[in-house]
Amino acid sequence: MPSRRPEGTASATPWNQTFNHSMWRANNSLHRALNERLRPLDVTMTQLGIVITLDQYGPLSGADLARMQSITPQSVTTALAHLERIGWIERHPHAVHKRVVLVEPTEAGLRGMAKGRRLVGAVVERISDAVGGPEELARLTLGMRRVAVALDGPDSPVARMWPDPPTAG
């Protein structure tokens, strides 16, 4: 009986042993672990990332946040509504462009962000231990940055958020 599988679909490597599967599983595991750790703060990693970005870059519009976080404007709108509801952000009209609304963290948001960073740090410490320590974690981080830049391009907002990687000495 002939195979019903289309030509070219078989692989010598099982799916669960490929880079694609490993990266996908690691992403899912990390996402779950981070959001579980942040649950006591009533925020998700996306929401925490928005407040961290606002703290780092100053007041930004929702459109700016969407570009910088590489998420949809609708996701930013949902995240901002929750952050505003829990008192972590406030919105103000732009001084010159009155139709543009700028978002900035509140004092409560900055305190929550600091707690969130500590909670996220505990997850990163677990990962560091699992991969063999801080040096290996730094290599893994650089590798993931290279993956993001390879997929999004060197001029993408995501690529520009990182400093240039260290050069080999």
pTM for the full model?
Answer: 0.81
CB 88 within 8 A of CB 116: no
Domain parsing of the chain, residue ranges: 37-124, 132-164
The model's pLDDT over 58-70, given as tens digits with 9 standing for 90+, comes to 999 999 999 888 8
Q: What is the mean pLDDT of the segment spanning 140-155?
A: 86
Q: Which CATH number fits domain 37-124: 1.10.10.10, 3.40.50.1100, 3.30.9.10, 3.90.1150.10?
A: 1.10.10.10
Q: What is the pLDDT of residue 157?
A: 64
The model's pLDDT over 86-126, given as tens digits with 9 standing for 90+, comes to 999 999 998 888 889 999 999 999 999 999 999 999 999 99
Two tokens, residue 26 = 């690691």
Instruction: Report which residue type is found at 75.
Output: S
